[in-house]
Structure 1
Amino acid sequence: MSAKNYWLAFGIGVSAGAAVALLYAPQSGARTRKKLRESAEEAGDYLQDAGDYLKTQAERLTDEAQDAITRAQKQAVHMVDKAGGRASDLADSVSGAVNSAVKSAKSLV
């Protein structure tokens, strides 16, 4: 099929399709445009609601994450303080043992 025949057949097909669509359209063009406009508005409202919901969820998750970070920081400080106290106690014990050993060694000499 030549290019000229192809485009001629294509044009006839498009015209026939448009004619059939107009003949069997369930409603007028004005009514169809109105429905399309309403559908677009509903889609816009839905997207707005979805955006608001996502924003609310993001804020909630941000708050929860901040609370978790704060709790972790407090727990870390507590653990460091506790470890520092135990290290200090251990150092005192070692120091006492060393002093005791030194006294014992002096008494032997």
Structure 2
Amino acid sequence: MPTIRILPHPEYCPEGAQIQALPGTSLCEALLDNDIDIEHACDMSCACTTCHVIVRQGFETLNEASEEEEDLLDKAWGLEPQSRLSCQVRLGSTDLTIEIPRYTINHAREHH
């Protein structure tokens, strides 16, 4: 079972976090299942960029991004070469370290 280390984020996990999830689970689902309430405005359907993460460690072990995901990532705030949409990342058996960008382009945030 891979361990996911989340770097500190002022809103979602100020102290950072370390969680585990089953292989095959989407990264977004793993975060949500462990009370890290990352935004996911499109209900994980690869239609927005609110679940954007930067994979700081383990990027090369992830499933390849689809063309649709790459097109959306071009619109993400703070895009980096290791950026992914967490709803599209399927966990394997390798540990990951991720950073959740401070901002998103979600203009209609839920629960706020």
Alignment TM-score, normalising by the size of structure 2: 0.12
Q: Provide the TM-score with structure 1 as the length reference.
A: 0.13
Structure with the greater relative contact order (CA < 8 A, sep ≥ 6): 1 or 2? 2
Find the structure with the greater CA-based Rg.
Answer: 1
Question: Which has a greater percent of strand?
Answer: 2
More helix by percentage: 1
